[in-house]
Amino acid sequence: MTQDTTVPKLVTVIITTSPTPSAPSTELVSAILESFEQHCHALTLCNVIVVFDAFDQIVPTARLKKGQVTPQQAADFDEYKNNVKQLILTKYRHVGAKFTQRRATAEYGSPNPQNTVDYTITQTGDKKVTFIEPLRRLGFGLAVRSALKVTQTPFVWVQQHDWSLVADLPIQPLLQIMKAHDSHPETPIKYICLAAVRMLSYAISEQHHVLRELSSSLTGNYEDPTHPGVRIPLTPMYFWHDKPHIASTAHYLERVFPSRLAMLRGDFIEDKIGQRARAQMKEGLGGLGRELSVMPIGLLCGEREMRLNGQLKTVAELDEDEIYEIP
């Protein structure tokens, strides 16, 4: 299938990265970009925002998810950032571009002057490439929110630095389906996630029969309205995963980040919003759970397997025969 040239007008790629054992090597981000090139070339043509999240403490034993790094990892981080910047500028064809720079502040929690993180936004003149660098650790949630605030497209592709595509991704029909279902009275689609192998039986889980009934009624092959006969199998989501996903920019800001209270520094979206939504739905409550998923706004894109390759996790192998139904 030929990728629609309108994809770059609709999507901004957000890549979040932080101190990693492989730094100053760019192997993780390189693998992501190579997977884009091989399996979803349109993502290499989109605007790209890279958030370089910082660390909090230097300690003898690293706990990277807590923002704690070793002295060597701290020493390697500046070189890592420079290496990733050069890689991004090369892959997105902006080597030698002129930049503008401005400062911004991420606010979180209660209105306390201490509950802020300053960061710099460095952009090419055409805003094709953007680098965000906080002075303190943001955490994944605030990193994504900071990127969303400078996004100018209706959709975002959110990409953590340790997941890459391993098979062709039908991004064009996915976007057209999302556009067609944006305000659908029964199946509004605002978020599509590529999930891990353990979720292959997600739609037929024996747990929580009410959710299973809803899954049965809404799981199906959703048709791309611009290409009759092209269908994508999707099933409702009851959890907001941080794994690679496509989402509505406006929905993200309105529902996941409605105020500074929604996400604290260091939080992961799935640990905060995802857990809260799932808990409410298990209890049969409305509120955030219903808004996030039961409506549903999020769907799971079909996949076959997940492989581990050294330190690199690979996501959601989409089999062409299962993803496309082209007459």
Query: Is the confidence at residue 326, as pLDDT, over 50?
Result: no
Share above pLDDT 70 across residues of the chain, in percent, rounded to a whole number: 77
- Name, in order, each residue with C-beta under 8 angstroms of 4's C-beta and a sequence gap of 6 or more: 42, 172, 175, 176, 226
Q: How much is the mean pLDDT over the chain?
A: 81
Per the rule left: phi > 0, alpha: psi between -120 and 50, beta: everything else, 275 is alpha
| The model's pTM | 0.84
Of the ranges 124-133, 173-182, 190-199, 260-269, the best mean pLDDT one: 124-133
Domain residue ranges in the chain: 7-323
From CA 210, how far away is CA 197, in angstroms rounded? 23
Taking residues 305-313, what's their average pLDDT?
28
Q: What is the pLDDT of residue 182?
A: 87
> Could you report the per-residue pLDDT of 67-80, keeping only the tens digit for each?
899 999 999 999 99
Stronger pLDDT, 68 or 327, i.e. the higher one: 68
Of 103, 112, 107, 162, the C-alpha closest to 138 is: 107
Class of residue 327 by CB neighbours under 10 A (exposed 0-12, middle 13-18, buried 19+): exposed
Query: Is the confidence at residue 212, as pLDDT, over 80?
Result: no
- Name, in order, each residue with C-beta under 8 angstroms of 12's C-beta and a sequence gap of 6 or more: 46, 47, 48, 49, 147, 151, 152, 153, 155, 156, 157, 249
Q: What is the pLDDT of residue 239?
A: 72
Query: Is the confidence at residue 206, as pLDDT, over 90?
Result: no
Taking residues 307-313, what's their average pLDDT?
28
Q: What is the pLDDT of residue 200?
A: 56
Of 219, 184, 182, the C-alpha closest to 202 is: 219
Q: What is the pLDDT of residue 299?
A: 52
Q: Which residue has the tokens 């060597």?
A: 72
Query: Is the confidence at residue 311, as pLDDT, over 50?
Result: no
Per the rule left: phi > 0, alpha: psi between -120 and 50, beta: everything else, 90 is alpha
Q: How many CB atoms lie within 10 A of CB 282?
A: 14
Q: What is the pLDDT of residue 266?
A: 85
> Do the Cβ atoms of 115 and 101 come closer than 8 Å?
no
Query: Is the confidence at residue 242, as pLDDT, over 60?
Result: yes
Taking residues 98-125, what's their average pLDDT?
95
User: Residue 263 corresponds to which tokens in the numbers above?
Assistant: 């996400």
Q: What is the pLDDT of residue 161?
A: 93
Q: What is the pLDDT of residue 279?
A: 67
From CA 174, how far away is CA 300, in angstroms rounded? 11
| Amino acid identity at 142 | L
Taking residues 115-141, what's their average pLDDT?
96
Instruction: Say if strands 231-236 and 163-165 run parallel, antiparallel, or are unpaired.
Output: unpaired
Stronger pLDDT, 290 or 86, i.e. the higher one: 86
Taking residues 203-227, what's their average pLDDT?
75
> Do the Cβ atoms of 180 and 188 come closer than 8 Å?
no
Taking residues 302-311, what's their average pLDDT?
32
Q: What is the pLDDT of residue 282?
A: 61
Taking residues 247-272, what's their average pLDDT?
89
Give the pLDDT band of residue 1 (cuts 50, 70, 90). very low
Query: Is the confidence at residue 314, as pLDDT, over 70?
Result: no
Give the pLDDT band of residue 291 (cuts 50, 70, 90). very low
Query: Is the confidence at residue 131, as pLDDT, over 50?
Result: yes
> Could you report the per-residue pLDDT of 159-185, keeping only the tens digit for each?
999 888 877 889 999 999 999 988 888
Q: What is the pLDDT of residue 69?
A: 93
Q: What is the pLDDT of residue 104?
A: 98
